[in-house]
Chain A
Amino acid sequence: MAVKVFEDWLNACSGCEISILNIGDALLDILPQLEFVHITPLIDHKLFGQTGEGTPPAMDIPEAVVGIITGGIRNDEYKHELEEVRKKVKFLIALGSCACYGGIPAMANMWKIDEVFEKVYRGCVTTEPSPTPEDPNIPKWTPLCQALDEIVKVDISIPGCPPHPDWIADAITALLEGKTEWKLPERSVCDTCPTPREKKSLTGTVKRPLENLTFNPDEPLDKMRCINEQGFLCLGPVTLAGCAGKTGVPRCIQARTACRGCFGPIRKGAVPMVDMMGAMTSIGLDAKTLVDRRAMMNRYIGAHGMLKPIPAK
């Protein structure tokens, strides 16, 4: 029998859902095993009744075995929906780095809400300066962009921006088999990266990626020197592995570009910025020469208080 699934995107970009659709030929085998009771991009299930007669905020959220939520919490309606979904599902999966850590939109946590809206509605060159939108039919921003586990209990976290379909299929299969826990193996991106390391930086100071890495395009990655050792910031040492699925080489490295940490910390409670500064020091790379250090090292993980407004000097 098909397993009932409730899926919705909150403060998100839809990349997680596209990642699911990119599973490939296996998608047609998986689809019949899942019965989506709600998934905005694919099924016309409505939260306020199929003929629109419901009264917001009371949402019609069907019961399901698995709830999959992508995106973080940025307004009071997302928060309400998440709390309601939690009551209606047996297992809640936080899918993607926005749901797990706030993601890119949590960079907004470096400012107060008023400062963000001041820019968006009164500080953009083509925008006619106007009051911030406010209406019963649009939700209010919450003070912070939060991860799901700051609001409700999350059973399974599948990070990534986007997460790899291997892990989505793996986690759902585990639930179908009756397991109640699932998590990605605790390995770093470096553990899965083929570039050779000599534990010594070639530069001492951090170079900005204003030029390409040094490599021979005819040679595989195991002939290209470690990116940090070339002097460019790569968050591989402090980032959870898995972006290329169970076996692949880290995706950004495949493109001959550095990791920016989209899978988040290797283990719960780690502070990547501190750990990364240690990793840099250990190869003789001066972390103080990195521009925009705080935002660079917390790009995808600004929830959980990792990014906050800077106190006025």
Chain B
Amino acid sequence: MGKTLTIQPVTRIEGHARVVIQLDDAGNVADTKFHVHTSRGFEKFCEGRPAEEMPRIVCHICGICPWAHSSASVKATDAVFGVTPPPAAVKLRRLMQAIAYVSDKILNFYFLAAPDFVIGPDADYSVRNVVGIVKAAPDIAKQVVHMRYLGAQMLESVAGRAIHPTFNVPGGVSKPLTEAERQELLKGARELLEFAKFTMKFAKENVFPKYMDAIKTLGVIKVGYMGTVAPDGSLDFYDGKIRLMRPDGSYDDFAYDEYTDHIAEKVMPWSYQKFPYAKKWGGFSMDLDNPVGIYRSNTLARINVADKMKTPLAQAELVEFRNNFGRPAHYTLLYHYARLIEMLQNAEEAIQLLEDPEITSRDIRVKCEPRAARGVGCVEAPRGTLIHDYETDKDGMIKNVNLIVGTTHNTAAISMSIRQAASMLIKGGKYDQGILNMVEMAIRPYDP
């Protein structure tokens, strides 16, 4: 056997991972593995907790997307208690999730992904980072930091906390929105939309055209997709049915509580993270030429499964995107492009919600009664479909939990993209830090 290359940590992603590339005697790639280093055991330690506490506990799964976990969890607890939250509460939950998403997408695009594209994939690591961006484009950096701050301030003005929120509660939300708060948020949301428009234009002019060769080759795999669509087929981050699309574009739609009919998870000895796959597609194989059962989640997956976007500017971008790349689009780096289309939808949706007079209604929560039941709640987190499945005893205490979170759906796909990128880039024992960074560039699209 040839050399073993250990890339750790995988950087500019959220999480803990090691990539091991095994070379053969000729210096070509014999094997690659994506090792996820951590498991925290949420499914176990949630047992015994009162169901109403769950949104406050499981939001801690992720510090980047706590609002998504809070939403999925609160929907599962609504279902457990058998309650339907008042319309204003649902609108407020949607609003907070939308604002948080815009912030996430700014973070991912500018802090995590941009150094590869703006500074360059093979630049030295000491400059290929956000500090390099600050030096190269100080005005944009200033705006980015300001917009992140604005997003956090908007969330805190209503919910006290931007990270690990307590605002979503079973049956509704913890407090109504006042008219003064609504006016203030509307100003902020309009600023976020302008910035989303700027970012899309900036990326279409300065980033994507320059990297079209990389987009067409790096990390490309042909697998299925998962996302959530509203009854009219438009992309919905908060509610709808789950759509599971095969690589050829055909798909099945199913309700949340039917997820166990469609998804199963493998466990591999080399990773704490499980490998979900589509149960009805005839097995599980990560073979690059003939993958079986593998699907992807996150931005590109969502805009592939959706018939359309929900808002006008995002829809116009989707039409242009599909004209260029088709449906489903399989190029992995297009996750970054899809992310910006989603940022537009979330910013537009935040404004729509805030212009709806019902959002300041005082009717924001229904009372819950403990009971024995099972409830499944799902939303689209930045990294993909969240599935929270809770079962309670007669006192409303949790006795069983199943969680499939955004990134987990992508375990197999990430593993495949790594293999594809490494095999393509490392030949005859030739590699350097720039090449290894390009392997990581095949992972970063899957981040929040």
Contact = CB atoms under 8 A, between A and B. Distances in A.
Q: Do the two shown chains form a genuine complex with each other? A: yes
Interface of A: 8-9, 11-19, 21-25, 27-28, 31-32, 36, 40-48, 50-54, 56, 74-75, 77, 103-105, 107-108, 110-111, 115-117, 119-121, 123-128, 130-131, 133-135, 137-139, 141, 161-162, 208-213, 215, 217-218, 244, 250-257, 260, 262, 291-292, 295-296, 299
Contacts of B404: 126
Contacts, number: 288
B178 interface: yes
Given A128-B265, A252-B161, A50 B20 contact: no
Given A15-B60, A138-B35, A257-B169, A295 B48 contact: yes
For the complex of A and B, list the 4 residue pairs with the smallest distance between their C-beta atoms, beginning with the closest: A15-B63, A254-B160, A52-B5, A130-B267
A22 B267 contact: no
Given A13-B63, A44-B128, 18 more contacts: A13-B66, A16-B63, A21-B148, A22-B163, A31-B134, A46-B8, A51-B436, A116-B41, A117-B41, A127-B274, A133-B271, A134-B269, A137-B270, A161-B164, A212-B364, A213-B174, A255-B174, A257-B174
A19 to B, nearest CB: 6
5 contacts: A138-B271, A255-B159, A256-B174, A296-B50, A296-B53
B125 interface: yes
Given A25-B145, A292-B49, A75 B41 contact: no
A209 B44 CA distance: 23
Given A42-B12, A124-B402, A255 B43 contact: no
Contact of A253 (B12, B160, B367, B403): B160
Contact of A255 (B49, B160, B270, B369): B160
A13 B268 CA distance: 23
B264 A128 contact: yes
Nearest to B56: A260
A46 B7 contact: yes
Interface string B81-124: 10000000000000000000000000100011000000000000
B125 A291 contact: no
A125 B260 contact: yes
Contact of B156 (A40, A120, A125, A251): A251
Contacts of A299: 57
Nearest to B259: A126
Contact of B166 (A19, A107, A257): A257
Interface residues of B, number: 112
Contacts of A56: 6, 8
Interface in B416-439: 431-433, 436-437
A229 B364 CA distance: 23
Nearest to B268: A133
B265 A126 contact: yes
B6 A48 contact: yes
A229 to B, nearest CB: 18
Contacts of B367: 210-211
A212 B41 contact: no
B62 interface: yes
A295 B45 CA distance: 10
Contact of A119 (B15, B44, B396): B44
Given A15-B60, A51-B431, A120 B270 contact: no
A98 to B, nearest CB: 9
Contacts of A215: 175
B12 A52 contact: no
Contacts of A16: 63
A51 B38 contact: no
A24 B7 contact: no
A13 B178 contact: no
B192 to A, nearest CB: 15
B187 interface: no
B270 A45 contact: no
Q: Which of A15, A53, A75, A121 has the most CB of B within 10 A?
A: A15
A217 B134 contact: no
A67 B114 CA distance: 26
B349 interface: no
Contacts of B174: 212-213, 255-257
A162 B165 CA distance: 11
A53 B3 contact: yes
B11 A108 contact: no
B11 A44 contact: yes
